[in-house]
Amino acid sequence: MIYHNKLTEYRLHIPPKMWQEFRQNMLDCRDINEEVIGFFFCNRHQISKKKIRYIPKAWIVPFPDCYEMQSTSGLVLTQQFHSYLLEKYVKQGLHVIHIHTHVGDIAPEFSSVDDYYESEYSRFLTQNFKRKPRLISGVFNQSLQKSKFRIWNRKGNNFDNVIFSNSYLEMIDIDAETVTEHQDTPTIQHYGIINPTQPALDSQNQMFTRQKIFGETCQKQLNQLKVSLIGCGGIGSIFAELLGRLGVKNWVLIDPDKLETVNLNRMPGATQKMIEQRWNKVHYVKHLIKKIYQTGSCVHAIPTQIDCEIASSEIATSDLIVVATDNHLSRKIAQELALEYMRPLVCLGTHIDINPSDNKPRMFCRITIPPLGGGWCLMCGNIISLQKAAVESAPMQINQMVAKAGYIDGVNDPAVFWLNSICASTAVGVIHGMVSGFLNLSAGIDWIYEFPRAVWHQTNTKHLETPSCYFCSHSDDLEPPTEEFSIESDFEIIDYW
C-alpha cells in the first residue's frame, strides 16, 4: 500500500468532552481482549489551500448486538446497522471517521487486513455516494491511549497521515526538538533566577522571561495562537492589549464602529486626535498591538459586522473566538460560528444598575465559555436573549416601532474602565489557563463578579445543559438504532463494517 506524501495537512480535532464520552463507550462495549470500533461523522473545512480540518458532527459506538462477529481476529457489523449508518450520516454528505482498536498496549500499527478493507471501503464510498465522502481511519491500542490516523484517497490506492487532537485548543504539540535552537539562551530556572553563564536573549524572548514559570511550550503556543476578537470597544480593547502582552501576536479584529468621544473614558491610548481623524475601532486596537510588536505580529482589521462573509471566513480559521460586544445578535452569530467550526468561544460583558433595595449602584462582569462540542451554549444557557437578537436583526423601521413601544432603551448601558478591566483581565487569565492546561474547561464556565460585594459567582454548568437545544444539541445523532429498527437500502453491503 502506498503512503502518499504531499504538502496538504489534514487535521481531525475532537473536543475533550466528546472524546471522553466516545472513549468510555468504546471501552464499555467490549470484553477483555476484544477489538471494538466506533465512528465519527464529519464536515470538511478547507482552512487554506494546504490545510484541511475535519469537524465531528456526530459519533456512534455500536452495541455488541450490532456485530455479526466481534473478537481479537476481526470485526463485522450487521448489514442492518451498516445500512443505518449509511442512510443517517453518509448519505447526508458527512465524511466517515472509522476508529478501531488492536489488542495490546503498545503503539498500534495498521495491519495488512486494515489496508485491504479500508482501501475497498474508500472505493465503496466513492462509487455509491454522490458527494464522494472521504474515509479517515484511526487505529488505537486497547486502552485507546496511543493512535495513528490516515485519510484515504477516493481511489483507495494511497493515503496521507492525519494530525489527531483531542485537546481543548487545536494546537500541535510542540516537540522539544523544535526549540533546541534556543537552548543556549537564558531560561528562568529555580523560580526566576536567570543563569548568568548563558548569552543574552533577543528582545522578543527577553520580553517573556518572567513568564517562563508557565513553560516554554505554553509561551510558544501563545505566540502561535490566532484569536478572532469581535467587538473592539471598552472591553475588547483592554482585552486585546492584555492578551497581546501575554504573547498573542495573531489577530482578527471585527467591529464596524469608529471611535467617539464617549469612548475615551474606557479605551487605553485612544485620543481626541484619533476621533477627529475618524479612526475605526479595529484600527485603533491594531495600533495597540503593533505598539507591543513592531515586527512579528499579524493583525487583520475588518471594520464590518460579524455577519459579513469576509469576517465569518476569517473567524472560521481562528483558534479562538472572543466576543465582547454590547448586543445579543453578534453574540448569537459568534456562538453559531463557534459551533459550526468547533472553535472555543469566550463571551465577555459587564452590567451596571441601581440596587432597588438600597438605591446604590451595583456592578457585574461576566466571563462565559460554553463547552466545546455542545452540552450548552449562549442561547440555551440564557446568556443571551434570542428575542432581543431577533429585534436587533430587524430592519430599522421595525426597531423604531419597538423603541416607541418601550421595549428598547434609547441610552447605551453605563460602563466604566475599571469594571471592563476586571472582565478583560480575568478572561485573559482564563485563556492563559486554557493554553497552559491549568484550567479544565471541558464542561464550560460561567463566572460572574459582583461589586461592591466583591464576590465571584460560579454557575453550576450542569444546570445549563440542555439536551434538546436547537443550536448545540447532538442528542438525536447519538441514538443507536433499536432492535426494531429496519431500513431498506440500495447499497451493496461489504463485510468489513
If DSSP states are collapsed to H, E and C, what string results for 341-406? HCCCEEEEEEEEEEECCCCEEEEEEEEEECCCCCCCCCCCCCCCCHHHHHHHHCCHHHHHHHHHCC
Q: Residue 103, exposed/middle/buried by CB under 10 A (0-12, 13-18, 19+)?
A: middle
Beta strands at 188-189 and 445-451: parallel, antiparallel or unpaired:
unpaired
Q: Is 40 helix (H, G, I), strand (E, B) or coil?
A: strand
Give the count of alpha carbons within 13 A of 51, CB side only: 5
The model's pTM is 0.84
Q: How far apart are CA 316 and CA 453, in angstroms?
A: 39
Residue 347 β-bridge partners: 323, 368
Distance of CA 134 to the CA centre of its chain: 23
Contact 125, 86 (CB under 8 A): no
Cell of 39: 465512528
DSSP 256-298: --B--GGGTTTSTT--HHHHHTT-BHHHHHHHHHHHH-SSS-E
pLDDT for 485: 39
Q: How far apart are CA 282 and CA 301, in angstroms?
A: 5
Q: Is 441 helix (H, G, I), strand (E, B) or coil?
A: coil
All residues at 6 or more sequence positions from 488 whose CB lies less than 8 Å from its CB, including other chains: none
pLDDT for 389: 87
State the residue for C-alpha cell 510558544: 220
Nearest partner of 370 among 241, 252, 435, 466, judged by Cα: 466
Q: How far apart are CA 131 and CA 236, in angstroms?
A: 41
Residue 164 β-bridge partners: 12
All residues at 6 or more sequence positions from 387 whose CB lies less than 8 Å from its CB, including other chains: none
| Tens of pLDDT, residue by residue, the chain (497 residues) | 555 556 899 999 999 989 999 999 999 987 766 788 999 999 999 998 899 999 999 999 998 888 888 776 667 889 999 999 999 999 999 999 999 999 888 999 999 999 999 999 999 999 999 999 999 999 999 899 999 999 999 999 999 999 999 988 886 443 433 332 333 333 333 333 334 444 444 666 789 999 999 999 999 999 999 999 999 999 999 999 999 999 999 999 999 999 999 999 999 999 999 999 999 999 999 999 999 999 999 999 999 999 999 999 999 999 999 999 999 999 999 999 999 999 999 999 999 999 999 999 999 999 999 999 888 999 998 888 888 888 788 776 555 554 554 444 444 678 899 999 999 999 999 999 999 999 999 999 999 999 999 999 999 999 999 888 989 886 444 444 433 333 344 444 333 33
Q: What type of residue is 111? A: S
- Residue ranges in 137-271 assigned as alpha helix (H): 203-206, 216-224, 234-246
Q: What are phi and psi of 336, to 5 degrees?
A: -65, -40
Q: Is 201 helix (H, G, I), strand (E, B) or coil?
A: coil
All residues at 6 or more sequence positions from 150 whose CB lies less than 8 Å from its CB, including other chains: 110, 136, 137, 159, 160, 161, 162
Contact 339, 352 (CB under 8 A): no
